[in-house]
Structure 1
C-alpha cells in the first residue's frame, strides 16, 4: 500500500515538473482559398494546437492555472494543393491581473509571412537545437517570445533566457530561405522584434513592463498605490532613444497597451492625468489620439 502511495506521489510530482507553459487557442481560416477542404483545415488546426500545448519550452514547472493564455489566428491566403501554404498570423498573449478576472494583453503581433509546408496526416516535431521545418520554427519562436514577455511582467528582465532561445530559432531558420528571419526581410518582422527585445536600448521598456504589471496593475485591486507606481515608471521611458520609437518592439507593445494604459490612468486626478498625458505623448506619439482622454 505504501509503495502504491509513493508511486502515485511520484507520478503527481513528475506531472507537475513537466506541466506545459502555454494554453493556446488556435483558429485556422481560409476564407479566400476554395481548393482546401474543411477536414484538412481542422486537422492542421489540431496539429498546431497540440504542438503549442503539448511541448515543453522550458525546464520550469507550470501549474494548470499558471499556463499562459495565447491565441493564434492563422489565415491561409493560398495553397498549392500539396504541402505548400502561404499564410498570415495574428498572435496574441495575455496574463491575469492579480486578484481580478481581468487579463492584460502582453503581445498582439501580426506576422504577414507565416508561410510553411505541411503534409496532410503528419506531425510537427519540436527541436530547439535543429531546424526541422518552418512551421516548427515559427511556432517555437512565438512560444519562446510569449514566455519571455510573460516572464518580463513578473520579474525584471526575466524573459531574457527565452528571448535568447527565440534568437537561436532565428539563427537556425535563416538558412531556410523563408521570409521574416533576416534583418533584410523588412523592419517589422520576427528578426527585428527579437533584436529589439534583447537590445539594451530597449531595456527601459522591458523594465516598464515589469513595473506596469507587477507593481502597477497587480496592486490596483487592493489600493491606488499601483497608479503611482505606473506614473513613476514612465520617466524612464523618456530616456529611450527617440530615433528608436518607431521600432517594432515599442510599436507593437504600445499599440496593444495604449487604450488600457489610458483607462487605468484615467483614475488619477486632473493634474496627474495631464502629467501622464505629456509623458505618454512624448514616449508614444503614434497613439497620441488614445491618450487624449487623459486631458479631459
Structure 2
C-alpha cells in the first residue's frame, strides 16, 4: 500500500529537473591574489547555483541539459566588492552528428557584485537579493530561451519574459547593465531586443538556421548549406530597418567561425550573394568571410 501511495504521488506531480550543465571558471590573476580561498568557494557556489536551480517546469533528461559556461574575469577585489566581467557561452547538439553548435557567446563587461564567502545563493523571481544572483539568473533564462528558439519558432519568448522580470526588478537598484542608460551593449538591450517586435526576423533566423539548416546537414549537406545561406541573407532585412543592430553583432560573435568553416569546404553551393550580405551586415568579421569559397 505504501509503495502504491508513493507511486501515485510521483504520478500526481511532475518531476522537474535542472536544465543546465554549466561549467564555471574564475580567473583572478589581475587581482594579484588569485590563490585566495574565496575564489575557489565562489566557483563552487556558482556552479551549484547554475546547475542545481530548477529554472523552468520542464522535465529535462540528463542528455537534454544545455551545455554552457561562465568565464568570470575578476580585475579587482575590495573587501566583499568584486569588479569583474563574464563571458557567457552555450551550445546545443546538431541532429545525427557529434557536433555541438554555439548558440550564445557574449562578453558582459558590467558584472560587478558583492559576495561574502559561503553566503547562500538562492533565486527569488520576485526580489532583488544581489547583483550576482540577478545576473546569473538573467543569463540562465537567456541561455534557455536562445536554446529553445533554435528548436521552435519563437520558442524562447517565455524564457526571455522571465529574464525581463529580472531586468525590471534589478532596475530598482543603481547597478550597471540593467537600464537603458547603461549603454547599447548591455543586459537590458539584449533582453529588450530579443522581445521586440522589431526583431522578429531574428527569431526566424535562429529557428531556420538550426532546424532547417544545421539539423539536416548529416542527411543532405548541400541542401542544408543552401538553407543556411538563404537564412543568413535574412539579415539584410534587419540591416535595412536597424543597421548595426545589437542582435546581429551577438549572432555573428557566436557564429562567424562556424559559418566560415561550413562554407569553406564540403559540397559547393552558390554563396556569392551570401558573402556580399555578410560583408555588409557583419563587416568586423571580414577575416572569416574571406575564408568562404566562392
Q: TM-score, normalized by length of structure 2?
A: 0.92
Which runs of 5 or more structure 2 residues have no equivalent in the other structure?
Answer: none
2:252 aligned with 1:254, yes or no?
Answer: yes
Corresponding residue for residue 7 of structure 1? 6
Name whichever of 192-201 and 68-77 sits farther off.
192-201
- Shift of the 287–12 alpha-carbon distance from structure 1 to 2, 3 Å rule, reads farther
Q: Find the partner of 1:108 among 105, 109, 134.
A: 105
* Offset, 1:190: 0.6
Greater fraction of residues in helix? 1
* Alignment pair present for 1:193 and 2:193: no
Partners of 2:155 and 2:16 lie apart in 1 by 20
CA shift, 1:6, in A, is 6.6
Whole-angstrom distance in 1 between the partners of 2:8 and 2:284:
54
Are 1:99 and 2:96 counterparts?
A: yes
Report if the CA contact (8 A) 1:57-1:144 is conserved: yes
Deviation digits for residues 74-98 of structure 1 (CA, Å, limit 9, x no counterpart): 11111112x2111111110111111
1:171-229 per-residue CA deviation (whole Å, 9 max, x = no partner) reads: 10012111111111111111111111111222112211111111111111111232222
Q: C-alpha deviations, 1:20-57, integer Å up to 9, x for none?
A: 11100001121022346432111111111111001111
Partner of residue 276 from structure 1, selected from 274, 277, 285: 274
Q: Residue 176 of structure 2 is aligned with which of 179, 183, 189?
A: 179
Alignment of 1:232-243 (within 5 A): 232-242=230-240
Once the two structures are overlaid, the 10-residue window that deviates more, 196-205 or 4-13, is 4-13
Distance in 2 separating the partners of 1:248 and 1:285:
14
**Maintained 8 Å contact 1:274/1:294:** no
State the Cα RMSD in Å.
2.1
Task: Give the TM-score of the pair, scaled to structure 1.
Answer: 0.91
Residue 245 of structure 1 deviates from its aligned partner by: 3.5
In the aligned structure 1, how far is the partner of 2:32 from the partner of 2:282?
42
Q: CA deviation at 1:136?
A: 0.7
Secondary structure at 2:155's aligned position in 1? coil
1:137 Cα shift? 0.3
Partner of 1:20: 18
Find the counterpart in structure 1 of residue 164 from structure 2. 167
Q: Distance in 2 between matches of 1:118 and 1:258?
A: 36
| 1: CA distance, partners of 2:111 / 2:52 | 21
**Paired residue for 2:61?**
63
Aligned residues: 292
SS of residue matched to 2:125: coil
Q: 121, 124, 127: which is aligned to 1:127?
A: 124
Partner SS, residue 284 of structure 2: helix
Partner residue, 2:70: 72
* Counterpart secondary structure, 1:146: helix
